[in-house]
Structure 1
């Protein structure tokens, strides 16, 4: 929740994800698939509340055009076909739609990659209007907000390396378009 509050005023938000499409980019069908399969199980009311909160957060991408959003997503997230072919097709279309926004940068980390700076898992980096940086890392049962500048520096270097290792924007969009066409 503290991270979500920071997101609402961030001027920069970098996300690397290797487990699931980040909430800011999820479709309703994809998110509901995740919520339905969550353990412990959620009831319908909880699933609805989770989706409403997620959809509200997504408004940031369009309503904060001066915020720089950058996403590095593993190719495998789309190959997994979470929710099935139709959900994946809609998800790719949705992500490609966000990639058309000037304030959104999208890169795909190829499935085959000999060197990879993100093997320690997903991460998010955020810059506040006061130019203070925070990091956030999630695990199985919770997340960790990281205010320590030395730790943030390490994560920033890893993210920078991953940006160099991932496909550039044009190649990332081209890959997603090809993947969508193959569904």
Structure 2
């Protein structure tokens, strides 16, 4: 199973999703960083500041900075504009091809994983297991250890290390709003045992204190539920475009169709009022943990 509702397809990277699977790919940031260095080199060759280049190429300074730092996927028309403006001999266009042609990486997931790096907001509803961004090492290790077909010890450690690295998104992107709505039964299942669950709840409570992280619990009994069809994610880019992501046992689906994205937006908009409030959710987690 992919178990990957938090942005990286674990069937290809094998590490960053919620549960992790078999195959692995090279670190996804690498190609972005290389592309950013190429753009920066030609910009400096043209004796342009980031501000001047941003104006000429008609993108925000923040977008240009993110591209050069390897933190986001360039917009579709950026490589051609930049290559022409900087007289880059086709080098920027050639470098951009490596961002979209990655062996074994499905196109729908590649788009989501790269967009996530520069997202303004990321909304996650999960009813199967705790999202990868919120998992503790012990919880993640349980998922990897229980996977079928089985992983060996080296594969488990590699996937665990990559998952922990990915979780830095929550702290490294303080201007990105992360919203999680989790079903109460995810904690009551006690995956990994009581101690693993208590540690998990403490970890999520700590993360919920971050200004850019909201965690709400959907109670077991709820007469109205907008996401009864299953887990979903919604992402807003720096250009205020919206995309969705849906996932099953083996595959995920990147959603760009405005009609479908609008449906996901409506469901996401309804969920916070149906879930417990932020304070009520924290109180419930403390009670489930056994706090007095």
Report the TM-score when normalising by structure 2.
Answer: 0.61
> What SS does the corresponding residue of 1:120 show, helix, strand or coil?
coil
**1:95 lines up with 2:204 in the alignment:** yes
Q: Flag the structure with more relative contact order, 1 or 2, with Cα contacts below 8 A and sequence separation at least 6.
A: 1
Number of residues of Structure 1 aligned to a counterpart in Structure 2? 182
Match of residue 161, structure 2, among 45, 49, 52: 52
Match of 1:156 in 2: 265
CA displacement at 1:134 relative to structure 2: 1.2
Match of 1:67 in 2: 176
With 93-102 and 124-133 compared, the bigger mean Cα shift is at 124-133
RMSD: 1.0
CA displacement at 1:43 relative to structure 2: 1.6
Match of 2:4 in 1: none
Q: Which whole-Å CA distance do the structure 1 matches of 2:221 and 2:252 have between them?
A: 28
Match of 2:218 in 1: 109
CA displacement at 1:8 relative to structure 2: 1.3
Q: Which runs of 5+ in 1 are unaligned?
A: none
Match of 1:77 in 2: 186
CA displacement at 1:5 relative to structure 2: 2.2
Match of residue 30, structure 1, among 123, 129, 139: 139
**1:140 lines up with 2:249 in the alignment:** yes
Normalized per residue, which structure has more strand?
Answer: 1
CA displacement at 1:71 relative to structure 2: 0.3
TM-superposition CA deviations, 1:60-98 (whole Å, max 9, x none): 101111000000000000000000000000000000010
Match of 1:126 in 2: 235
Match of 1:167 in 2: 276
TM-superposition CA deviations, 1:89-147 (whole Å, max 9, x none): 00000000100000011110001111111110001111111111111111011111111
Q: Which runs of 5+ in 2 are unaligned?
A: 1-7, 9-109
Q: Which whole-Å CA distance do the structure 2 matches of 1:137 and 1:80 have between them?
A: 23
Match of 1:8 in 2: 117
List, as ranges, runs of 4+ consecutive aligned residues in structure 1 with deviation greater than 6 Å. none
